[in-house]
Structure 1
Amino acid sequence: MTTDRLRQQVLVLYLSDSALDSYVVGWARYDGTGHTSPTTGDSDEPPYDTGVAALLDGWRLFQAAQLIPPYPGHEYDVSFLKHEFFFERIVDTRALPA
């Protein structure tokens, strides 16, 4: 494969806890191939049930959120989704439909 045909796709999964086999509670996709809109979150259903399922489908994990304990007294505060995992896959654009 020549590198001028390779493009990155990024998948961000927010899991219910820090374990990669826990359930997906939020997600975002970013497609660098140009064959879909940059963000393709067009479904109410997550693309995978767990982070492990994404790995089994060929996505590569490249970043997981740092685990930071809550400040004392704030254990039950609602805030951002903290169990964030970034996945990528490299796609040969010649293999995509025109």
Structure 2
Amino acid sequence: MTNERQQLLILHLALPDLESHTVAWALYDGALPEDRLQMNTGDQNEPPYQSVIDAMRDGWFVIQLAPMPTYLRGTEHESGHLPYEYVLERRVAVS
């Protein structure tokens, strides 16, 4: 019997352009067996895709576009969350 499971890929880009390069990422794989660990922060040196467009070409669907950040005058150089976050989804067959 074959059914589908969901995978979620979160990509943080350097710029809001979907072709901009990936600076941080996380992958949550519902198709992995329970005894396999999910990806952990920092356990990979290279992103799975260089951009959102590259992931889309490999079958990922964008389900969230990051809102444009609002910078208040005088706070442009403060650190905080990564503003250009994109959530992608795909379904894979498992047996």
- Within-5 A mapping of 1:9-88: 9-35=7-33, 36-39=36-39, 42-88=43-89
State the Cα distance separating 1:48 from its structure 2 match: 0.6
Q: Which amino acid aligns with 1:57?
A: D
Q: Report the number of matched residues.
A: 92
- TM-score, length of structure 2 as denominator length: 0.87
Report the structure, 1 or 2, having the larger helix content.
1
Q: Report what 2:4 is aligned to.
A: 6
TM-score, normalisation: structure 1: 0.84
2:56 is paired with a residue of what secondary structure? Answer: helix
The superposition leaves residues 40-83 of structure 1 with CA deviations (integer Å, 9 ceiling, x where unpaired) of: 66321000111100000000000022112211111111111110
Distance 1:10 1:30 in 2: 5
Cα shift readout 1:10-37 (whole Å, capped 9, x = no counterpart): 0000000101000000000001113342
SS in 2 for 1:53: helix
Q: What is the root-mean-square deviation in Å for CA atoms of aligned residues?
A: 1.8
Where in structure 1 are there 5+ consecutive unaligned residues?
none
Identity %: 37
Gaps (5+ residues) in structure 2? none
- Amino acid of the structure 2 residue aligned with 1:69: T
With CA pairs under 8 Å and 6+ residues apart, which has the higher RCO, 1 or 2?
A: 2
